A and B are shown apart, each in its own frame.
Chain A
Amino acid sequence: MTDIIQKVKNLSIGFRSKKGEEILILKNITTNIKKGETVGIVGESGSGKSTLALAMMGYVKHGLYTVGGECEFNSSNLLKMKSKELEKIRGRKIAMIPQNAGQALTPNLKIGYQIDEALQLHSDLNEKEREKKISELLNKVRLPSPETIALRYPHELSGGQQQRVAVAMALAGTPDLLLLDEPTTGLDVTTQAHVLELLNFIAKDTGTSMVYVSHDLGAIAQVSDRIIVMYSGEIVLEGPSRDILKRPIHPYTHGLLKSIPKLSLAGLPESMPGSQPQPGTIQSGCSFFDRCNFSDENCKNNSPKLEFLEDLNTSVRCFNHEKLVKESRVSQTVNKIKNKSQDKEILNLSEVSISYAKQKLLDQIFNRISDNNPTVKDININIKKGETIALVGESGSGKSTILKSIAGLLRTKDGLIRFDENRNLSSDLKERDPNDLRIIQLIFQNPDESLNPNHTVEEIIAQPLKLYFGLKGEELKKNIIDLLQKVRLGEFYTSRYPRQLSGGEKQRVAVARAFAAKPDIILCDEVTSALDVSVQAAVLNLLQQLKEDFGTTYIFVSHDLAVVRSISDRVAVLYQGRLCEVGPSNDVYKFPSHPYTEVLLGAVLEPDPDIKPKLVAEDIVEERPPEKGCSFQGRCSRIVGDICKKEVPPWQLTDSGNAIRCHIPIKELQKEQF
């Protein structure tokens, strides 16, 4: 039994509600972490996965308390330990890599000091040796020029670099167990793939055990040997990762895997109904009962126990798991989307440039923007009525910037935005008339911030109806209820406030508000990024349904290439505010021809242990687009020569209507893929 490094026994953690009731976040968790293995803990927000990881370090957040059970490390219970003893374990035996390194590094201390602090606490090295060790660590996490990085402050690094510093800091104490709490969430796809690859390398190299917490099955699939699936504070499934991902025998995992859009599959995934119960909801029976396709009377009245199946080496919490064993292979069915685009052009961007440069006094007087190298440049896109066009790219690619300009929130420097073939839209919101404003609506990423917390759902949806159509009284009420039904929310939602809704419901209200204006074009800015996977599929399906009903045009911005694949008719790939490739999504995804598209697609993580990401280019961060030549020259692995540095590449057309901006001849570009 010596190969077990951490034993979690009957652990329950909870908090007291305002009424004084005890509400459990973790319910009776038992599991072991073995030496040298990587365990993935997966679950949606609120499933208790982070609380579990923190408990494994003997840390319980302010407001929560241990109700029962223990976390045993080296045969002592961390949850009962004095803080003096814990200080000797934390960072030295068990280390944490946090979700958001940008916020987890102390802002007033230099990178070098923060790593040095861990070394001072957890090693006997003297100052000289420590200095050397810091360089070694920064080298190990593949940061360029460690000596200068050590002297920087956290905010002077990019997100990926900050995450690497956090890894270096955790490794400083040479821990036996590493806890990773969503370590790649919030990073760009390419950066994420690189960080994961680094973590895999470290796990092999040092033999450290890892507990990897994430909501992202794609990331979990790449790193873990074993997977624990959590739902509503309980373990519902635990077993070898290949089996869990390929043949999940719990209905929740089954549904979860089905609802993730895949890169290889166009069309919308099936969605799981409902959402995870809030902690403290009184329930008898299985916590997954009301969302389950396999449930029966027994599930409603009795709660299943976690059962160990010896032949599968898997634990499962389900009465009907035998039914699932038979049909557990996840066969994904998707609703193929029909391309609804018509020949009529609805929006045209021609030669659009946008600059964030601060206006000088002279420019302010003449009301002009002068910037030779603007953030976004030369955008030419012709959008057809009824189509869904997606803008993709990493952070800083200018995709949200373009959306803002279309919406009139950001002035363009040059170029025209033309609506319906003949109407020029001013790039200044104040100069647009009410109808110009009505035809374009925005749905934001985070409904928590885009819905006024002091307005009821009724007031939120009523505003566009009053503003654009002057509706009043009965008619207004009828329209609101109509819209709510369209987004699958009942009439009783009218009197609720945003805080009384779940994330998915909030986003539905935001969708209803956008449709209330009867717009021609809806701009979707990362609309599903803040949602859980199972809810994401439902919102995507809803958007598609509404589009088919109303004939709306979508401009869809997302960093998630699989989501984009599932919903869009056409894709525009952006790098540093310049277009790289525009074409029908089937073609862009089938033969990624632009070197950057290849990099992006190669880095996508699929929830399948057999599909490994391909790391083509380095994940360097460029602060400004290059002054001359191709925008992607800095990271391109297929540079043909000086021409890439000097001349902006020409547009080349493929037979299928794909437009690619690259100096490499089109035939050659496509050849290399096969």
Chain B
Amino acid sequence: MLFLIIKRILLGFITLFIVSIITFVGTEVLPGDACTTYLERQAFGEQLEACYRRLGLNVPAYERYISWALNAIQGDFGYSLSGEMPIKDVLGPRIKNSLVLASAAIFIGIPIALILGIITALWRDKLPDVAISTVTIFAMTIPEFISATLLILIIAIWLEWLPGIVIVPTDVSFLELLPNIILPVVAIAMIMTAHMARMVRSSVIQVMASEYVQMAILKGVPYWKMVFKHVLPNALLPAINVVALTIAWLLGGVVVTEVVFNYPGLGRLVIESISNRDLPTVQALAIILASIYVSINLLADLLTLMLNPRLKTLQIRK
């Protein structure tokens, strides 16, 4: 078991290493570099040379990669081009904001998704299922830029209950941020919840049709005991991985929603730094997003492994 965990962590690091190489090479082969972008029309001769020297771009690429990687491991991603401030200072508040948004969506969305999924499955083809399923299918199919725009129109403009877009400095305190995030959270949670509820529904239905559930009924196990002991543990196991992917997706920045609401999260930073050709920031973002995906998936796999007795013995036997 321990061996397995170590192996998976090592594999995670290898993945990150490969991602870092790809992003580094990618930014390297793009025409132009930080200095040409920064100096714009003055990018020639003495000034360009000076810029290269200042940013350390005059040394071979592999040396730059090594020094960049060594610093990155310590959390230092170098300087952002726009504003010339350390990237970690740019990233810090953005990560915090994305975390706030994601956790709000997770804490509201996941329990609702589970409850809706279970209700629709247990009352399959009856009124609660038909009603909830219709709504979830709508929520799933309407793209977020439309639902977000509609939310702004109705809640912020017509009813004037909440601010429509987030106009706050990037580094505001949590309490100040709170009223601003309600609409983005609703917009994100709608799609996410709908997806997860559908998945939970089909998983529960599948388990309900299994022979062991029929056996439990024939054994005289009362309905709710059967649901909690025999159905849910087996039905929710496969949901763990889906939840993990959703969380990673949320943390990675829900680009469209952040742009629509002007929310200062990671997603918008990605868009901004790409359009500004702020390559060091893009690199840093790529590596951070990759780490988020890798670590959350790793956690999910280990959790599944621990909760599923079948997998556990299989692994131990090996």
Chain A positions within 8 Å of B, measured between CB atoms, are 54, 57, 59, 61-62, 83, 86-92, 95-96, 98-100, 103-109, 117-118, 121-122, 153, 155-156, 166, 169, 173
Contacts and interface: CB of A to CB of B under 8 A. Distances in A.
Contact of A122 (B217, B220, B229): B220
A107 B219 contact: no
B-side binding surface: helix, strand, loop or mixed? helix
A108 B235 CA distance: 11
Contacts of B210: 103
A20 to B, nearest CB: 16
Contacts of A98: 211, 214-215, 218
Contact of A107 (B209, B221, B222, B310): B310
B309 interface: yes
Nearest to B318: A358
B234 A106 contact: yes
A108 B230 CA distance: 8
Contacts of A104: 211-212, 214-215
Contacts of A155: 309-310, 313
B158 interface: no
Contact of B220 (A91, A107, A108): A91
B69 interface: no
Contacts of B219: 90-91, 95-96, 117-118, 121, 169, 173
B101 to A, nearest CB: 34
B92 interface: no
B174 interface: no
Interface in B212-256: 212-223, 229-230, 233-234, 237
B308 A59 contact: no
A109 B229 contact: yes
Contacts, number: 83
Contact of B212 (A103, A117, A121): A103
Interface of B: 209-223, 229-230, 233-234, 237, 307-310, 313
Contacts of A95: 218-219
B218 A83 contact: no
A83 B313 contact: no
16 contacts: A89-B220, A90-B219, A90-B220, A95-B218, A98-B215, A103-B211, A103-B212, A105-B212, A106-B230, A106-B234, A107-B212, A107-B309, A108-B234, A121-B220, A121-B221, A166-B215
B313 A106 contact: no
B218 A106 contact: no
A108 B309 contact: yes
Given A90-B219, A106-B230, A156-B313, 18 more contacts: A54-B218, A87-B221, A87-B222, A88-B220, A89-B220, A90-B218, A91-B219, A91-B220, A91-B221, A98-B211, A98-B215, A106-B215, A106-B229, A108-B307, A121-B220, A121-B222, A153-B310, A155-B313
Nearest to B232: A108
| Most chain A CB within a 10 A radius of its CB, from B211, B229, B307 | B211
Closest 3 CB pairs of A and B: A91-B220, A90-B220, A104-B215
A272 to B, nearest CB: 31
A156 B215 CA distance: 19
Contacts of B221: 87, 91, 117, 121
Contacts of A62: 209
Contacts of A106: 212-213, 215-216, 229-230, 234
A255 B44 CA distance: 98
Contacts of B313: 153, 155-156
A96 B216 CA distance: 10
Contacts of B209: 62
B308 A83 contact: no
Contacts of A103: 210-212
A108 B218 CA distance: 18
B306 to A, nearest CB: 12
A103 B207 CA distance: 11
A117 B219 CA distance: 9
